Structure 1
């Protein structure tokens, strides 16, 4: 009844800056699995559709070693048997990005590795050392492959990159400051537990950060930005 009344009000011209399409899109953002809303939007049900996750890892030789293998084992373990399909690419260089995106055609992009104080992620160069990549450059590459549902940046200081990446993703998750290995593992485990259960990334994020404090990890280590 609420949605019918809201649609009728908009159709009557009460909110000229809005439209039925805008209202429907916003409703789907909050209730992505609702079959009635999907039918109104002319979209197939998402209940059984794949959610493809492209997991990119970089471990430059001039930086401290991280437990990236353990993090990806968590993603594989938590999503096994669900509609979430992870694709893992390691030792990623900048020029590998388009090939990885062509192969996986992801809905969610997950990066694990090091970040700089300025919010850049560190890929690898041809010598295996760090190659910084800023949010604007990453957004330009991603824009050629269509809009993503979410970008998860599991590296230090990447919350600074979140807002620019909203140009190509509905949700962007980053770390507010230094990110400890064990906290990254806990966060990844509980985030993808929620995604595998069918929750939108924003809700899975809220649940994952709620659990962190009891595990000895400050939940404010992580930040989320959502497109308006």
Structure 2
């Protein structure tokens, strides 16, 4: 008898009859008695064989289901046959041990505890031309996600664009990039992003997000650059109830780089110190800057610490600053957030500004100043923002005491990898 029984599952049991004699056995009758807790699902509990030739084997199959684990005995209530001499034989007391094991415990599949954060990072698409659409996905579901795929629908020419990544860990971010040809103009063209994913091989889930993007006709070629210098709005906040910062030293060294630069006439620095929120808004209106530089404090939630009317710290949210800066997206070329934990604010601003520099963690005063010196040395020499960013990080990497912080600055869209 062979078989492997597991509680709660359909299990096969084979009973073998072997004639080891020299002649045939005939008129064999065998009736199986099942113990309580084992149910017959398939086959019959009674075997009748007219003839079993010498040396031959007959296998009788049963399908059983056990309700509880443990050892059991199968018994035969009727086992008789005629042997090779045609003499009747009756077997009494036949029994066989049967072991049933418990079904393995299946670990529960982790369930998501939140939603994915889905943000459109592309502020504008060119109408009627192929352009790049970038969508940022943040895994706030609280579990690792696998086979993450996004499909975007909207007023596009051609097939529905799709993009896929294999794994997205909890709290991690990923960018999905699509080549699209938008056929509808407007400031708020509707898009639908459908994101599907699995977790641990479980059922596929789908999240639907409704986004908007601006779509405008191609911008005509820009006229030759004028001789009017571009403004760098230098914002500094040093609330008296927070640890003091050396913002004045940072601004002094940046001004020195400008005075020594070959293109010194292309830029002018407009300082705004001890800034309150109203001061930031007013300075943006007054100067229409190409570059905004903030030197101050930030917290882990991406808030910036500015000053109130008494010179104490008050916080301004990433969402609020993003809304304010979006009103000046036509002139803003770059924003530098030289403040601790400003990465979240940086990617909130990225859809509205050409480039944004933030800090992924805390950064010390010496490192913040040295990064600014390297960055502006490249910018004032006429290099594009990604090259200036790389130079700022190189300045940190070259100083033994500051090298561990060279990966703290991050650039949106991403710059060179180190």
Give the TM-score, by structure 2 length. 0.44
Residue 140 (structure 1) aligned with residue 319 (structure 2): no
The aligned length equals 196
Match of 2:180 among 17, 42, 49: 17
Query: Structure 1: which 4+ aligned runs deviate by more than 6 Å?
Result: 13-16
Q: Cα–Cα, structure 1 residues 51 and 200, in superposed 2: closer, same or farther, change >3 Å?
A: farther
Match in the other structure for 1:187: 371
The structure whose Rg is larger is 2
In the TM superposition, residue 201 of structure 1 has moved relative to its aligned partner by 1.5
Whether the aligned pair in 2 keeps the contact of 1:82 and 1:196 (CA below 8 Å) is: no
Match in the other structure for 1:101: 284
Match in the other structure for 1:150: 334
In the TM superposition, residue 49 of structure 1 has moved relative to its aligned partner by 5.3
Richer in helix (by share): 1
Residue 224 (structure 1) aligned with residue 411 (structure 2): yes
1:56-205 matches, cutoff 5 A: 56-80=235-259, 81-147=264-330, 148-205=332-389
1:44-59 matches, cutoff 5 A: 44-46=223-225, 50-59=229-238
Whether the aligned pair in 2 keeps the contact of 1:84 and 1:195 (CA below 8 Å) is: no
Whether the aligned pair in 1 keeps the contact of 2:325 and 2:349 (CA below 8 Å) is: no
Richer in strand (by share): 2
Give SS of 2:298's match.
coil
Larger mean CA deviation between 129-138 and 140-149 belongs to 140-149
Match in the other structure for 2:221: 42
Structure 1: runs of 5+ lacking an equivalent: 1-9, 20-39
Structure 2: runs of 5+ lacking an equivalent: 1-129, 131-156, 160-178, 183-218
Write the distance in 2 (CA, Å) between the matches of 1:46 and 1:74.
Answer: 27
Give SS of 1:166's match.
helix
Higher RCO by CA contacts (8 Å cutoff, separation 6 or greater): 1
Give SS of 1:167's match.
helix
Map Cα deviations across residues 186-212 of structure 1 (whole Å, 9 max, x no partner).
111010011101112121001221231
Q: Cα–Cα, structure 1 residues 95 and 199, in superposed 2: closer, same or farther, change >3 Å?
A: same
Write the distance in 2 (CA, Å) between the matches of 1:139 and 1:160.
Answer: 11
Give the TM-score, by structure 1 length. 0.79
Whether the aligned pair in 1 keeps the contact of 2:341 and 2:360 (CA below 8 Å) is: yes
Whether the aligned pair in 2 keeps the contact of 1:75 and 1:86 (CA below 8 Å) is: no
Whether the aligned pair in 2 keeps the contact of 1:119 and 1:158 (CA below 8 Å) is: yes
Whether the aligned pair in 2 keeps the contact of 1:55 and 1:86 (CA below 8 Å) is: yes
Whether the aligned pair in 2 keeps the contact of 1:123 and 1:132 (CA below 8 Å) is: yes
Larger mean CA deviation between 210-219 and 116-125 belongs to 210-219
Write the distance in 2 (CA, Å) between the matches of 1:116 and 1:53.
Answer: 24
